[in-house]
């Protein structure tokens, strides 16, 4: 009896079964990098003596962190990646204006699919577990080895099961569920474990919300986050462009991509979230979580809505629903960055941009932006911000004396209007239950 993570790893290792703690080598479906990590991986790739990546159609390269380039060093890193992509004739290289944030772009474009085994030189590669892939972050050296051989090594993680029960309250989404989870178990509560999410609240959650949850599995120390694919997942996947190459390893059918009844878990947590209020992570850890109702009066200099965690269309639509008819507080600035060009175009087409601009928000081009203190909204000394991003460590979004709070798009939008952290219904005029 196997968990979903164990099934995917066993299939790609060519084994009937694997067990936690076992060391394996497994075939990769995809190996990706961005402009920060690709140049170092390319350097290490050259040191292996390999002349060509194992499969030009399974290496993904795209610039998303400092782009459009904000300084000369960033431009040089992008140049190095661009030259490596050209030299290797990488088929899945995407230039600025054609990609956006990697972890939103790959599922959107059908590049990653359920049952895949994916490594990426970025810790938030764990995002793709939201559609049932085993995906995890690695260092640039391991990525280079993967590029050369098409394989990587893994220590099979134990799996922790998190069941979310009850009906999701209004204003509560995937960001609130994962913040609640991290608040309960801590930033090392899932260290090198696969976090498997289930329960009726997860079944009712959108695919976008599931991607958000798995994106932050790494903030609890997780090796991967996973939601077993269901009808909603397959509808999402089947509506996307279909990847032209097949899955590697032993092919897992749609009915196989779920944990077995009786699968063994290192820990099982059951939570009823029917009365959960929107959650906020306070400085300086994602585990320092409180209900939004406990944080009245926390004045904000900046609110940021975007990132690989909450920059999808669904997130922007939630924010627009709260912002409509309101203005951003005079002492607060609101920055909104759609995660991909497709999301950008849809938001513009469906009138969200008009709402954002009428409210006084600034809209940026698809990129990671200020999430990691990169560009388009870095916090200055002593400033306090709230963001829909995934980390709020000291100096994460700018100066070391700045403070950062994390929340979902509804709380973010309401807080921008109020100029302080506040619940969505205080602005939208609707009390969810």
Domains along the chain? 4-242+266-272 (3.30.499.10), 279-428 (3.30.499.10)
In contact, 184 and 270? CB cutoff 8 Å: no
Which alpha helices (H) appear in 368-418, and where do they start and end?
409-418
177 contacts 215 by C-beta, under 8 angstroms: no
Sequence-distant (6+) residues with CB within 8 A of 200 are: 164, 165, 166, 167
* Spans of the chain, pLDDT less than 50: 430-433
For 83, other C-beta atoms within 10 Å of its C-beta total 12
**Cβ atoms within 10 Å, residue 416:** 32
Q: Are 384 and 298 in contact (CB under 8 A)?
A: yes
Taking the C-alpha atoms of residue 116 and residue 114, their distance in angstroms, rounded to an integer, is 6
Nearest Cα residue to 268 out of 197, 178, 173: 197
Sheet holding 59-61, edge to edge: 92-93, 59-61, 30-33, 117-120, 134-137
pLDDT of residue 316: 98
The pLDDT of residue 36 is 92
Per-residue model confidence as pLDDT tens digits over 290-340: 999 999 889 999 999 999 999 999 999 999 999 999 999 999 999 999 999
Distance (Å, whole) CA 105 – CA 43:
26
Angle in degrees, CA 335, 338, 341, rounded to 5: 140
Report whether 277 contacts 293 (CB < 8 A). Answer: yes
Task: State how far the Cα of 54 lies from the Cα of 423, in Å rounded to an integer.
Answer: 50
Residues in the chain: 433
Cβ-in-10-Å burial (0-12, 13-18, 19+) of 7 comes to: buried
Residue 157 vs residues 238, 324, 421: alpha-carbon distances, Å: 29, 45, 38
Task: Identify the pLDDT of residue 432.
Answer: 37
Q: CA nearest 336: which of 372, 299, 371, 311?
A: 311
Q: 3 with 32: CB under 8 angstroms? A: no
Peptide linkage before 68 cis (omega within 30 of 0):
yes
What is the radius of gyration, based on Cα positions, of the chain? 21
* Pairing of the two strands 279-281 and 289-291: antiparallel
Question: What confidence score (pLDDT) does residue 371 get?
Answer: 78
Cα(202)–Cα(88) distance, rounded to whole angstroms?
A: 41
CA distances to 48, 85, 141, 142 from 45, rounded to whole Å, are 5, 13, 8, 10
φ, ψ of residue 136 to 5 degrees: the values are -150, 155
Return the pLDDT at 429: 57
Write the pLDDT tens digit of every residue in 245-274: 777 767 788 889 999 999 999 999 999 999
pLDDT for residue 161? 98
């Amino acid at each position: 009896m196997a968990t979903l993570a164990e099934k995917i790893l066993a299939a790609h290792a060519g084994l009937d079964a694997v067990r936690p703690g076992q060391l394996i080598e497994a075939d990769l479906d995809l190996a990706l990098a961005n402009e920060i990590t690709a140049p170092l991986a390319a350097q290490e790739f050259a040191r292996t003596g390999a002349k060509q990546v194992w499969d030009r159609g399974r290496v993904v390269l795209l610039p998303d962190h400092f782009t459009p380039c904000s300084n000369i060093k960033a431009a040089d890193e992008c140049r190095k990646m661009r030259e490596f992509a050209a030299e290797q004739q990488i088929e899945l290289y995407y230039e600025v204006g054609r990609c956006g944030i990697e972890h939103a772009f790959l599922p959107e474009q059908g590049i990653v699919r359920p049952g895949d085994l994916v490594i990426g030189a970025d810790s938030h590669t764990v995002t793709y577990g939201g559609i049932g892939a085993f995906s995890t972050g690695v260092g640039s050296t391991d990525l280079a080895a993967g590029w050369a051989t098409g394989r990587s090594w893994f220590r099979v993680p134990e799996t922790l099961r998190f069941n979310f029960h009850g009906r999701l309250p209004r204003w509560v989404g995937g960001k609130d569920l994962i913040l609640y989870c991290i608040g309960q178990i801590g930033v090392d509560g899932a260290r090198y474990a696969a976090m498997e999410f289930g329960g009726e609240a997860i079944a009712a959650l959108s695919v976008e919300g599931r991607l958000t949850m798995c994106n932050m599995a790494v903030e609890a120390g997780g090796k991967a986050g996973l939601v077993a694919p269901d009808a909603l997942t397959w509808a999402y996947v089947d509506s996307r462009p279909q990847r032209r190459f097949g899955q590697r390893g032993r092919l897992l059918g749609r009915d196989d991509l779920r944990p077995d009844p009786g699968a063994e878990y290192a820990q099982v947590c059951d939570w009823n979230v029917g009365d959960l209020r929107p959650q906020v992570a306070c400085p300086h850890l994602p585990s320092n979580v409180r209900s939004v109702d406990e944080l009245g009066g926390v004045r904000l200099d900046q609110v940021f809505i975007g990132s690989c965690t909450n920059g999808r269309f669904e997130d922007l639509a939630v924010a627009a629903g709260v912002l409509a008819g309101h203005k951003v507080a005079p002492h607060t600035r609101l920055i909104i960055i759609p995660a991909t060009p497709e999301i950008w175009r849809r938001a513009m087409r469906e009138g969200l941009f008009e709402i954002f601009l009428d409210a006084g928000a600034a809209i940026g081009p698809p990129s990671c932006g200020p999430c990691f203190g990169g560009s388009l909204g870095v916090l200055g000394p002593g400033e306090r911000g709230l963001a829909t991003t995934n980390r709020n460590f000291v100096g994460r979004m700018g100066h070391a004396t700045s403070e950062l709070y994390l929340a979902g798009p509804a709380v973010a939008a309401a807080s921008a209007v109020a100029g302080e952290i506040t619940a969505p219904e205080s602005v939208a005029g609707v009390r969810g239950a």
